A and B are shown apart, each in its own frame.
Chain A
Amino acid sequence: MKPLSGIRIADFTVHAAGPFCTHMLSQLGAECIKIESAQRLDIFRKPHAVYGRAGPATFDQVASNKLSVRLNLKHPEGVALAKRLVARSDVAAESFRAGVIERLGLGYAALREVKPDIVMTSVSSCGQTGPDSHFAGYAPLFGAWGGLGHLSGYEDGPPVEMRHVMDHSVGMNAALATMAALHKRRHTGQGCHVDVAAREVASSLAGDAMTAASSGVEMRRTGNTDPQRAPHGLYATRDDDRWLSIAVSSDVEWSTLAGIIGRPDFAQDSRYSTSEARVAARQEVDALVADWAASVDADEAAEGLQEAGIAAHVSWRAGDIADDPHMIGRGAVVPVTETDGRRRMAVGFPACFSGSDAPGMERGTPGLGEHEEYVYGALLGLGRAEQTRLVDEKVIF
């Protein structure tokens, strides 16, 4: 049995951050019912000009493993049906702009009336309260508001735009908070409304810098450098655009590295033998490593450094990840079937369990409304004629 077997989620989330939350819980075994509408298709069911996609996606990571029903939330009967679904669920998740779900008649107070111990999870850009709560946003804006953007970048360059890892970080945090709320329900019998603000997730991921700044420390962009470690960075290797990351954390590691790069005389050289000295002579140290790296095979070098006890890894591209036997063996990368039947690699759950069945995906992306017979028929008990009427009246739509 998967860890969350028996948990049901009514999933109203759209785009990336919210759906990633329920996607994580779904992989852990929760039954996740994605509530959609042909009136307003989710992003993966439409062409995506930014990504140059001319039609719908044949596979969407964050929709995979979910069940799909159509439901028109602008229709009063659609709202009533949504409430019936929530009444049969443990979690209701949504990611509309703050205030929208209330206006639809499906706010926390309304849901609690039909399911007193419901755990409702709201994911939004700025949270459910506060003067900016009405702002919509995207991942790069979350990173900008939350300080990660300002703090990331080359020392002499501009801030860096955060991309979808920002959205999915929000979803991962939301999944964790939802899980905690379920524990609370188990122990107290009470549900609650989980409020996850994307910009607060962004600032939490740079919370050490916020805390330092609060005592007057000036926090700036520092590129790939580390204030306490050198060498520390990305080094070009013999193959074009194949970079090797190295982080030396101790004097012993430096001594080992000095031998590997063919400069054992620098192991005990007082210019480089202590962390403080190396940090002070960062550019010289980097140049020594860069000279060596320029002629090595990145993958072989990373293995050799790891064998010698030095943290190193190639800067991996998606293709490296898709083919990696380590992650495939762990189920962190898994084969999935697209809606058109093709097989491809996708991302699994980032942990393994010794006592529960392995988390992961059992289905690819659902067709729009693919699971209405189960959800409206078996789960909510609507007869065939009633379902047909609701389709004809554009409630199931």
Chain B
Amino acid sequence: MQQDKPLAGIRVVEHASGVSAAWAGRLLAAMGAEVIMVEPPALCPLRREAPLFETGGSALFQYVAADKFSVICDLDTGEGRDALAVLLDGAQILIDDTPLADREEWSLDQESVAKRHPELVHLSVLPFGAAGPKAGWKAGEINIVHAGGEGYLLPNGLSADMFPDRPPLKIAGHFAEMQGGVAAALAALAALWSGEGQFVDASVQDANVAVGAFALQRYGDGSIEHRHSRSFRYGGVLECRDGYVELLTLEERQWQGLVRLMENPEWALDEAMSDPARRSEQGDTINHAIRAWARHHDVDELVARAQDLGVPMARYNTPEQILSGKHETARGIFQDLEVPGTGTIKIQTAPFRFAKTGLPLGAAAPAPGAHQGLLDAGDEATARRATV
């Protein structure tokens, strides 16, 4: 029990095979909830999902299952379903991403769960939700980022300029699926707050449409966004001698700072560049000049000088630069965890904190069935072993 964390005392049972539901559970675990993964005998498929360590284990799983508990439970058997029901008797939240068609067979449908556990918040996390004509549709990360509208708008800026004919692009990793997890966790905590045991139907597509809200807002304004035209008029990704930086000057004083950063080149001092509207019209000319200028500079030198001059500029950090970053280290956002067979790894504990110090993780991702005792230990039939 982690009394000092905000969700201490809340027990969550997680039956997840995808990133969205697992990320919802992980965020609740980071905030102090006791999250018990219920794995099938074939184990949670995320244990095999890339990126993989050199030793073969899944870095993704280590990240999304940190600080959770694991029990193995065969829901194809009556004993397994009974054991899950007993586990749920002591829980406040169930997270489940079982496809709709399979829920009844495992007694995980809305009606069965509500009947046995009327006080429970039953959080369903599915790509397109549990209701509606597409409730049975499948989706991986790439499908969801495009169903949510953001995929069509990527890439923009330099990448779209360089490769205008290529297909649109997904964001790295599991960005869209994680959006679904964050929204689902929020919905579950809101339901818990209401005091009503209830079914919460979270949709990963809906979560992505929500975070992409400006596209719909602009559509209502009569503007149709496109990856080739939604770039900022100038600035954006700049290639330097040894890497990339992001530059964005929205305010006049920031532009003035940029001119000083470039050591007052003649073109930038021209009358035609003195007003923001006229600058916008000449975005291509400006980009041509600043892209040529940036190539003669090193990233760190440029970023340091930009910051002194109040110019919003950031280094495109590699994971290694983030892992060893001064700021990240000072805030302690990563925690070292020991993983048997892999060694010491770093895990970002959470994307938020509730005090000056971050939220410490209690343990690395559990071995399969590491907490089997949490199931009804008196019933031998429930003590299933992993089949893999």
| Residues of chain A at the chain B interface (Cβ within 8 Å) | 1, 3-4, 16, 20, 24, 28, 49-53, 57-62, 126-133, 135-138, 140-141, 143-154, 157-165, 168-169, 172-177, 179-184, 186-187, 192-197, 200-201, 203-217, 219, 221-224, 226-229, 232-236, 243, 245-247, 249, 306, 309-322, 325-327, 329-330, 332-333, 338, 344-356, 359
- A selection of 19 A-B contacts at a CB cut-off of 8 Å is A3-B191, A60-B217, A130-B327, A137-B312, A140-B246, A141-B248, A161-B231, A165-B150, A184-B6, A192-B6, A211-B347, A211-B348, A216-B54, A224-B170, A226-B50, A235-B167, A326-B133, A354-B200, A356-B190
B106 contacts A by Cβ under 8 Å: no
- Secondary structure at chain A's binding surface: helix, strand, loop or mixed? mixed
B110 contacts A by Cβ under 8 Å: yes
| B 326-365 binary contact with A (CB < 8 Å = 1; else 0) | 1110110110000000110111101111111000000000
Q: Is there an interface contact between B318 and A141, defined as CB atoms closer than 8 Å?
A: no
Q: How far is the CA of A215 from the CA of B344 in the complex (A)?
A: 7
Question: What are the residues of chain B within 8 A of A232 when measuring CB–CB?
Answer: 140, 142
Q: How far is the CA of A350 from the CA of B331 in the complex (A)?
A: 32
Chain B positions 195-249 with a Cβ under 8 Å from a chain A Cβ: 196-203, 205-221, 223-225, 230-233, 236-237, 239, 244-246, 248
Q: Is there an interface contact between A183 and B200, defined as CB atoms closer than 8 Å?
A: no
Question: What are the residues of chain B within 8 A of A306 when measuring CB–CB?
Answer: 134, 136-138
B112 contacts A by Cβ under 8 Å: no
Q: Is there an interface contact between A51 and B218, defined as CB atoms closer than 8 Å?
A: yes
Q: How far is the CB of B207 from chain A (nearest CB, A)?
A: 4
Q: How far is the CA of A246 from the CA of B191 in the complex (A)?
A: 34
Q: How far is the CA of A227 from the CA of B352 in the complex (A)?
A: 30
- Secondary structure at chain B's binding surface: helix, strand, loop or mixed? mixed
Q: How far is the CA of A127 from the CA of B353 in the complex (A)?
A: 9
Q: How far is the CB of B229 from chain A (nearest CB, A)?
A: 10
Q: How far is the CA of A16 from the CA of B34 in the complex (A)?
A: 33
Closest 5 CB pairs between A and B? A355-B198, A213-B319, A151-B172, A350-B206, A351-B187
Q: How far is the CB of A280 from chain B (nearest CB, A)?
A: 15
Residue of A nearest to B194 (CB): A3
Q: How far is the CB of A176 from chain B (nearest CB, A)?
A: 4
| B 297-329 binary contact with A (CB < 8 Å = 1; else 0) | 000000000010000111111111011001110
Q: Is there an interface contact between B9 and A187, defined as CB atoms closer than 8 Å?
A: yes
Q: Which of B137, B172, B209 contacts A209 (CB 8 A)?
A: B172
Q: Is there an interface contact between B206 and A311, defined as CB atoms closer than 8 Å?
A: no
Question: What are the residues of chain A within 8 A of B53 when measuring CB–CB?
Answer: 212, 215, 217
B31 contacts A by Cβ under 8 Å: yes
Q: Contacts A3-B190, A154-B159, A326-B132 hold; do A206 and B220 have CB atoms under 8 A apart? A: no
Q: Is there an interface contact between B209 and A350, defined as CB atoms closer than 8 Å?
A: yes
Q: Contacts A49-B280, A135-B307, A192-B6 hold; do A210 and B200 have CB atoms under 8 A apart? A: no
Residue of A nearest to B64 (CB): A208
Q: Which of A165, A235, A312 has the most CB of B within 10 A?
A: A165
B265 contacts A by Cβ under 8 Å: no
Interface stretch among B35-43, B178-186, B266-274? B178-186
Q: Is there an interface contact between B150 and A183, defined as CB atoms closer than 8 Å?
A: no
How many residue pairs at the A-B interface have CB separations less than 8 Å? 513
Chain B positions 58-72 with a Cβ under 8 Å from a chain A Cβ: 59-60, 62-64
Q: How far is the CA of A338 from the CA of B217 in the complex (A)?
A: 11
Chain B positions 115-139 with a Cβ under 8 Å from a chain A Cβ: 128-129, 131-134, 136-139
* Beyond known contacts A157-B159, A309-B138: 15 more, CB 8 A cutoff: A50-B280, A127-B331, A150-B318, A172-B182, A194-B352, A211-B348, A212-B52, A212-B59, A214-B347, A229-B140, A249-B140, A306-B136, A313-B143, A315-B152, A322-B219
Residue of B nearest to A62 (CB): B213
Q: How far is the CA of A181 from the CA of B193 in the complex (A)?
A: 11
Q: Contacts A53-B221, A345-B220 hold; do A146 and B317 have CB atoms under 8 A apart? A: yes
Q: Is there an interface contact between A152 and B143, defined as CB atoms closer than 8 Å?
A: no
Q: Which of A184, A192, A212, A228 has the most CB of B within 10 A?
A: A212
Q: Is there an interface contact between B147 and A313, defined as CB atoms closer than 8 Å?
A: yes
B189 contacts A by Cβ under 8 Å: yes
Q: How far is the CA of A129 from the CA of B358 in the complex (A)?
A: 11
Q: Is there an interface contact between B186 and A175, defined as CB atoms closer than 8 Å?
A: yes
Q: Is there an interface contact between B319 and A315, defined as CB atoms closer than 8 Å?
A: no
